Each structure stands twice: as structure tokens, then as C-alpha cells.
């Protein structure tokens, strides 16, 4: 009962929570202004002294030998087709993704540079600050969700914590939410591709800085792309690091706006790890979130029962090795899944593979719509049951469960021209 009340009230409370938190952070930054203006380095106390809004401005102000950056990808227009759906009209948040631009990508070498991260309550990185030798934030290389410039969290810190010193070259792969599977695969690993495009190599790096390297999928994929585990520096243990030479690839692509070179690099470097699946594994795949902590499918037994009549098999990716997961996607013909990290491997699918994604009506994130299109797949979607958000108001309530209309799911299968099984067990 209490959880139902919280769920009902959350859309009304969330805007006021944001206003309160923003006001609190702004007040803290104002109180810390004297420390920022003092000669004391943020290595010891207080926030950084200022910021560089561009890499050109940073390089122009830097006299230290070796300070440099190279642009490895330019802005590209991204145009996507209208997705198939049985909804009355395409959701407004998906319409926003019809036309986008990729972001430019860079690799910077920063002598005596620092990286600082702030963790949330789940020990996930929420903010990343790249700091120059003269104690300023390098804004194009620093990240925080929907925040930049002096609104970055680092300017609200009275003390950044002890500095962990690294001798030699240190490659920084720290990324927002980089502990999570989706962000690790699509936003952390491709930075190694950026490094290579800049004419540098992993062999030159003495250290590789990551959010964390403890999870099985992290170790598996790091081995595939050639990162020795003994070089890893974990930012859960050292959230404030200074290196003799900090090498920082920027985000190779904005979340959900993937360019061909990123997906080609991932496919090339991670494909050798594919496994051989049992012949009984169906090419009709349902990805379950039964083991996830949130966004579960409330009536999943009914969903699986219907899908099984069409030849689908349910899979919990958490129980599979990384190689088994990628192979599952590579051999799939149709994939049905709730929105979630289970769809990260879409770039392994063969062109034309059909994707049917369903959402909680209160949380629409079109990242897999764009990933499917970048991977030349046939994408469709529908909404779960319940009240949706108002147009123009995205509260990002990403923890709600999903109840699937079995009737709508069946209509989506018809739209995708998926036929039910014949009595022999074959797809008709």
C-alpha cells in the first residue's frame, strides 16, 4: 500500500525535489566562492579555480610541453525512420530522436592532469571532472547529466579528497554510470577505439583508470579489447587521481546517438569472444528482467506463455557468459524485450533483425530505437498499461514496473509478421 502511494505521488513530487536539490547545490557553491578565489589548490582544499570551455582555450593557455589534443570524429547528422507501432501515434520523446547530430570526439593529453569523480548512494559515478595543471575544469572532457560549466558538482565541493598519484601515462576511461552494463559497453570501451584513432596504443599506457573493474562482464570485455587487468586503477578506491600524463578520450558518441565507427569497432573487437550455442536455442528471443532490481514485468508468466506459442524462448542474460549473450543476439531473428540494458547487444544482430521493445508509459528512453537504426535493424515498440506522461514533461521515472497488455503484444507480433507455431512445433 505504501509503495503504491509513493508511486502515485512521485510524478507530482519530483519537480519540487529537483528545485530543492538545485537550490541547495547553488547555495553551497556560493558559500564556497571565497575558497575558489583563494590561492589554495583544490588538491588540498576547495573547488577548482575556474574552467576552460573549450580544448582550444585550454591548449592556448598551457605552456607545459606535451599538452595537446586531437579531434578524432566530427559532427555528423543522424536521421532515423519512423518506428512501427500499434500506438495511436509515435510518442513525442521518440519523435525527438528522428533527427540528431553526433558529437565531436577528442583525445587530450594533459600533463599533471587530474580526474575526480563523485559517486551516488549506489556507488555509481554521477559526475566526472577533468582538471588541468593550473587547477581548472576542462569542460568538454568533464561530464554530469544535463549539467556543464560552473554548475558542475566539483564547484560545490569543499574538499575533493586525498590525491592518488600515478607515475607515467594514465588512460582515463571513467564514465557516468560506467559501472552499469549498457554504459560500460557503449560509452567506456569505445574510448579505447578513440585512443587508437588518435594514433596512440594501449601498450603506451602505464595505467588504465576505470569506474570499476570488478564485475565479470568488465573483466571479460577488457580482456577482449586487450587491457591487462594489472594496469587497472579503480575509482571506487581512488576517486581523486593525478597522473604525470593523463590521456583522456572524450565521449565518442552521445548516449543513444551512435556513429558507425563506434559500432564497427565494438563489433570487431568483441566478436572473437562469441560462443557456440546449443542447436535447441531458438532465433526467437525474449529478454527477461526477472533478476533486475527494478522495471520488472509484472505479468511476465503471461507474456512468456504467449510468446512460447510463437516459438520464443525466454533468457535471463545475467545467467549467461558474455560470449553466450553476444552469440544469442547474432543468431536472433526476432527479439522482444522490455526497455533495459538487455538490449545493449543489438549491434551484434544481423541487419534486418526485428526488435519489439515495450516501455513503462511513465519512462520512455529512445536509446535502443537509435541503436537499432544505427545497426540497420527493424525496430518497433509499444507501451505497457497505465497512465503516461504529459507531452513536454519528462520526469524520468525509470524504476516503475511494466504491465504488458497481452492483446497489444499479440498485435505487435502480427505487425512484425511473426506466425504462431504449428502443431509440429515449427513456425508457420
What is the reported pLDDT for 121?
A: 87
Quick check: 94 pLDDT over 60? yes
**Rg, the chain, Cα only:** 23
**What residues does 118 pair with on adjacent strands?**
127
Q: Quick one: which of 395, 272, 282, 397 has its CA closest to 339? A: 397
More confident residue, 34 or 139: 139
Domain boundaries, the chain: 32-82+94-256, 284-415
Torsions phi, psi for 357 (to 5 deg): -105, 140
Q: pLDDT class for 11, splitting at 50, 70, 90?
A: low
Judge contact between 100 and 366, C-beta under 8 A: no
Alpha helices in 254-339 (DSSP H): 260-270, 300-308, 322-330
What is the reported pLDDT for 253?
A: 79
Query: What is the rounded distance in angstroms from the CA atom of residue 85 to the CA atom of residue 411?
Result: 9
Here the cell at position 213 is 573493474
Q: pLDDT class for 7, splitting at 50, 70, 90?
A: low
Here the cell at position 232 is 587497472
Here the cell at position 28 is 553551497
- Angle of CA points 156, 243, 223, to nearest 5°: 105
Please enumerate in sequence order all residues whose Cβ is within 8 A of that of 380, keeping only pairs 6 or more positions apart, or say none: 83, 84, 85, 354, 355, 356, 357, 412, 415, 416
Per-residue model confidence as pLDDT tens digits over 347-399: 999 999 999 999 999 999 999 999 999 999 999 999 999 988 888 878 777 78
Please enumerate in sequence order all residues whose Cβ is within 8 A of that of 63, keeping only pairs 6 or more positions apart, or say none: none
Q: Residues of 360-394 as b/e, b for ≥16 C-beta within 10 angstroms?
A: bbbbbbbbbbbbbbbbebbbbbbbbeeebbeeeee
What is the reported pLDDT for 16?
A: 53
Per-residue model confidence as pLDDT tens digits over 271-321: 876 777 777 899 999 999 998 888 999 999 999 999 999 999 999 999 998
DSSP states of 205-247: -SEEEES---SHHHHHHHHHTT--GGGEEETTT-SEEEEEEEE
Averaged pLDDT, 25-30: 60
Q: Is the dihedral of CA 189, 316, 300, 309 positive or negative?
A: positive
Query: What is the rounded distance in angstroms from the CA atom of residue 266 to the CA atom of residue 117?
Result: 26
Here the cell at position 187 is 560509452
What global pTM score does this model have?
A: 0.88
Here the cell at position 371 is 541503436
Query: What is the rounded distance in angstroms from the CA atom of residue 120 to the CA atom of residue 110?
Result: 27
Per-residue model confidence as pLDDT tens digits over 37-74: 778 899 998 899 999 999 999 999 998 999 999 999 99
Q: Quick one: which of 78, 108, 83, 103 has its CA closest to 93? A: 83
Whole-number average pLDDT of the chain: 89
CATH architecture for the domain at 284-415: 3-Layer(aba) Sandwich (3.40)
What is the reported pLDDT for 266?
A: 94
Query: What is the rounded distance in angstroms from the CA atom of residue 278 to the CA atom of residue 304?
Result: 20
Amino acid at each position: 500500500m505504501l509503495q503504491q502511494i509513493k508511486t502515485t505521488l512521485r510524478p507530482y513530487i519530483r519537480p519540487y525535489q529537483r528545485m530543492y536539490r538545485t537550490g541547495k547545490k547553488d547555495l553551497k557553491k556560493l558559500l564556497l566562492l571565497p575558497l575558489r578565489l583563494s590561492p589554495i589548490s583544490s588538491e588540498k582544499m576547495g573547488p577548482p579555480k575556474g574552467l576552460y570551455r573549450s580544448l582550444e582555450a585550454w591548449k592556448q593557455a598551457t605552456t607545459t610541453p606535451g599538452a595537446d589534443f586531437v579531434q578524432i570524429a566530427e559532427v555528423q547528422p543522424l536521421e532515423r525512420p519512423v518506428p512501427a507501432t500499434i500506438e495511436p501515434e509515435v510518442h513525442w520523446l521518440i519523435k525527438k530522436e528522428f533527427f540528431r547530430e553526433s558529437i565531436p570526439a577528442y583525445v587530450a593529453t594533459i600533463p599533471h592532469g587530474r580526474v575526480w569523480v563523485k559517486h551516488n548512494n549506489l556507488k555509481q559515478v554521477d559526475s566526472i571532472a577533468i582538471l588541468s595543471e593550473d587547477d581548472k575544469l576542462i569542460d568538454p572532457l568533464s561530464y554530469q547529466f544535463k549539467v556543464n560549466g560552473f554548475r558542475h558538482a566539483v564547484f560545490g565541493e569543499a574538499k575533493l579528497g586525498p590525491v592518488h598519484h600515478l607515475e607515467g601515462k594514465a588512460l582515463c576511461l571513467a564514465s557516468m554510470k560506467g559501472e552499469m552494463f549498457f554504459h560500460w559497453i557503449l560509452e567506456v570501451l569505445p574510448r579505447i577505439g578513440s585512443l587508437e584513432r588518435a594514433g596512440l596504443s594501449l601498450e603506451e599506457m602505464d595505467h588504465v583508470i576505470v569506474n570499476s573493474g570488478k564485475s565479470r562482464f568488465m573483466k571479460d570485455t577488457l580482456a577482449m579489447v586487450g587491457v591487462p587487468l594489472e594496469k587497472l586503477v579503480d575509482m571506487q578506491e581512488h576517486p581523486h587521481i593525478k597522473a604525470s600524463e593523463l590521456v583522456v578520450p572524450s565521449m565518442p558518441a552521445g548516449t543513444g546517438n551512435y556513429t558507425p565507427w563506434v559500432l564497427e569497432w565494438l563489433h570487431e573487437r568483441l566478436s572473437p569472444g562469441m560462443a557456440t550455442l546449443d542447436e535447441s536455442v531458438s532465433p526467437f528471443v525474449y529478454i527477461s528482467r526477472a533478476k533486475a532490481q527494478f522495471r520488472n514485468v509484472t505479468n511476465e508468466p503471461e507474456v512468456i506463455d504467449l510468446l512460447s506459442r510463437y516459438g520464443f524462448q525466454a533468457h535471463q542474460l545475467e545467467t549467461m557468459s558474455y560470449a553466450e549473450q553476444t552469440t544469442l543476439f547474432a543468431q536472433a531473428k526476432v527479439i522482444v524485450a522490455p526497455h533495459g540494458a538487455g538490449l545493449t547487444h543489438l549491434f551484434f544482430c544481423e541487419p534486418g533483425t526485428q526488435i519489439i521493445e515495450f516501455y513503462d508509459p511513465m519512462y520512455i528512453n529512445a536509446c535502443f530505437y537509435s541503436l537499432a537504426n544505427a545497426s540497420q535493424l527493424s525496430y518497433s515498440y509499444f507501451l505497457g498499461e497505465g497512465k503516461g506522461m504529459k507531452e513536454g514533461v519528462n520526469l524520468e521515472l525509470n524504476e516503475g514496473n511494466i504491465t504488458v497488455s497481452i492483446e497489444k503484444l499479440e498485435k505487435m507480433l502480427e505487425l512484425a509478421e511473426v506466425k504462431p507455431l504449428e502443431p509440429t512445433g515449427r513456425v508457420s
